[in-house]
Amino acid sequence: MAENLMEIDDSNFAPQVLQADKPVLVDFWAPWCGPCKAIGTMIEKLADGYSDQILFTKCNADDSQQTAAKYGSKSIPTLLFFKDGSVFDKISGMTNQAKIEEVLKILTGEQGAAPFIVQ
């Protein structure tokens, strides 16, 4: 796993994500998922540029079914963006790097108004 990515699971999700002192991107994935591998490569590249502002994490949805279910990750890949312990935005399914980066810029305050906030 890349240096700027942290592996999380059911046991450490709350302290690592909900109690983080900066925004967090959670990549729900599985090793058998082709689109997950493609998005994983994008996440690694983005982590290199944003790791000082955002914590990048990966959560294996097969191994952490409780957390995946709690946050409505019904399909993978699913990216959840957390700010101050709450879900800020969500991307499900295959997407492009520009869309992920757009959310990261909004999350860090680099660009425009916030998207719809998921409660």
Distance between CA 15 and CA 8 in Å, rounded? 10
Q: Which pTM does this prediction carry?
A: 0.88
Q: Which residue has the higher pLDDT, 104 or 114?
A: 104
pLDDT of residue 40: 94
Residues 72-81 have a mean pLDDT of 93
Six-digit token string for 14: 């709350």
Number of C-beta neighbours around residue 94 at 10 A: 11
Report all structural domains of the chain as residue ranges with CATH numbers, in order of start: 5-107 (3.40.30.10)
pLDDT at 81 > cutoff 90: yes
In terms of DSSP bridges, do strands 78-83 and 86-92 run parallel, antiparallel, or are they unpaired?
Answer: antiparallel
Does the annotation mark 36 as catalytic? yes
- pLDDT on residue 4: 85
3-state SS class at 34? helix
Catalytic residue, candidates 36, 54, 61, 76: 36
Q: What is the 3-state composition of the chain as percent helix, strand, coil, each rounded to the nearest 5?
A: 35, 25, 40
Q: Which of 33, 72, 95, 97 is catalytic?
A: 33
N-term to C-term CA, the chain: 31
pLDDT per residue over 17-76, tens digit each? Answer: 999 999 999 999 999 999 999 999 999 999 999 999 999 999 999 999 999 999 988 899
The DSSP line for 83-114 is: ETTEEEEEEES---HHHHHHHHHHHTTSSSS-
pLDDT tier at 111 (50, 70, 90 boundaries)? Answer: low
Calpha distance 79→58 (Å, rounded): 9
